[in-house]
Amino acid sequence: MKLLENISKFAGNTFAIWVIIFAIMAFFIPSGFTWIAPHISLLLGIIMFGMGLTLSVDDFKGIVKAPKSVFIGVLAQYTIMPLLAFALANLFQLPPEVAVGVILVGCCPGGTASNVMTFLAKGNTALSVTVTAVSTILAPIMTPSLTLLFASKWLPVSAGDMFLSIVQIVLIPIVLGVVIRLLFQKQVDKSMKVLPLLSVVGIVLVASAVVAVNKESIATTGLLIFSVVILHNVLGLLLGYLLAKILKLDFQDQKAISIEVGMQNSGLGSALALAHFAPVAAVPSALFSVWHNISGPLLATWWGKRSSKGQ
């Protein structure tokens, strides 16, 4: 068990490196990874189940303790990123499938990696966890509705089918995880340190599969999509921070909301894109997964060092 814990800690600390390495491998040796694509929804369900195991009633107490900060975080999550995605899709005149893919990842809830990044940045980790949990619980309603609103200009969107998909691969696994933790808390707490390994392996496999399936599209339009993804992420981080600052939240909350807004659940974006649109629509989510696991640690490290110097 100790060995698994050490491996899990190492994998969590080097998450970005593994995403990049396997994405590159999938691009050059796609046949080794395409078999994963049909199992992306299952992988995401396992990741969400792991997230459910980490949640407790205390994670939702932030709604009562700091309702203003939680409301701002969730509102920013579901306004800034979808609006940015819509603006970038129009500005760069993206092909329909790619435009929908960018908008889809923008309409997803925050990713669990944001909690780790907030901790490293010495931000308000409790707020980050609460905002991630609330935005994820709201995802079955918010993600299909916003995708329908912003993406139907390019392609038909079935909000009802997306709702069912998110319930199946996000909501049900999370609820199961929460219930199992309530019933078997001691056993779950003992294995808590191994859970990051589950998330790392899952996200790495999802990103690799999407890259492998879309090798040709990435080769021809990858630079354009990657440029849009970088802008989407960086502007999300910046606008999330500025909004929290304008609304006079403290610096720890500003950092948490910035990271929450900028780091999306790109695994969910990939799964929904493959299930409801063309495979190329999953490319923005895959590249987002690669990029935000570079920008997130860089920003978190910089903020963390600044906090240490300040102290």
Taking 50 as the threshold, does the pLDDT of residue 32 lie above it?
yes
In a domain, 266, yes or no: yes
- Indicate the number of domains in the chain: 1
Q: In the structure encoding, which two tokens stand for residue 295, read together?
A: 């920008």
In contact, 147 and 277? CB cutoff 8 Å:
no
12 confidence band (pLDDT: 50, 70, 90) = low
Long-range CB pairs of 297-303 (<8 Å, 24+ gap) are 297/15, 297/16, 297/117, 297/120, 299/117, 299/121, 299/237, 299/258, 299/259, 300/117, 300/118, 300/120, 300/121, 300/259, 301/120, 301/121, 303/121, 303/122, 303/123, 303/255
Residues pairing with 110 in the sheet: 264
Long-range CB pairs of 303-309 (<8 Å, 24+ gap) are 303/121, 303/122, 303/123, 303/255, 304/120, 304/121, 304/122, 307/121, 307/122, 308/122
The domain of 116 spans: 55-172+211-304
| pLDDT tens, residue by residue, 92-148 | 999 999 999 999 999 999 877 787 788 778 888 888 888 888 898 899 999 999 999
In a domain, 162, yes or no: yes
| pLDDT tens, residue by residue, 214-253 | 788 778 877 888 899 999 999 999 999 999 999 989 888 9
| pLDDT tens, residue by residue, 153-199 | 898 888 899 999 888 888 888 888 888 888 877 777 777 777 777 77
For helices 96-106 and 80-91, what crossing angle results, to 10°?
A: 160
In a domain, 42, yes or no: no
In a domain, 197, yes or no: no
286 confidence band (pLDDT: 50, 70, 90) = confident
Those residues whose C-beta lies under 8 Å from the C-beta of residue 85, and which sit 6 or more positions away, are 102, 103, 105, 106, 107, 150, 232
Q: What is the pLDDT of residue 240?
A: 94
How far apart (Å, rounded) are the C-alpha atoms in residues 59 and 131? 9
In a domain, 50, yes or no: no
In a domain, 128, yes or no: yes
> How many helices (H) and strands (E) in the chain?
17, 0
In a domain, 199, yes or no: no
For residue 263, give the nearest of 90, 105, 45, 87 by alpha carbon: 105
Q: What is the pTM of this model?
A: 0.86
Q: What is the pLDDT of residue 307?
A: 64
CATH number of domain containing 103:
1.20.1530.20
Residue with tokens 């493959």, as numbered in its chain:
274
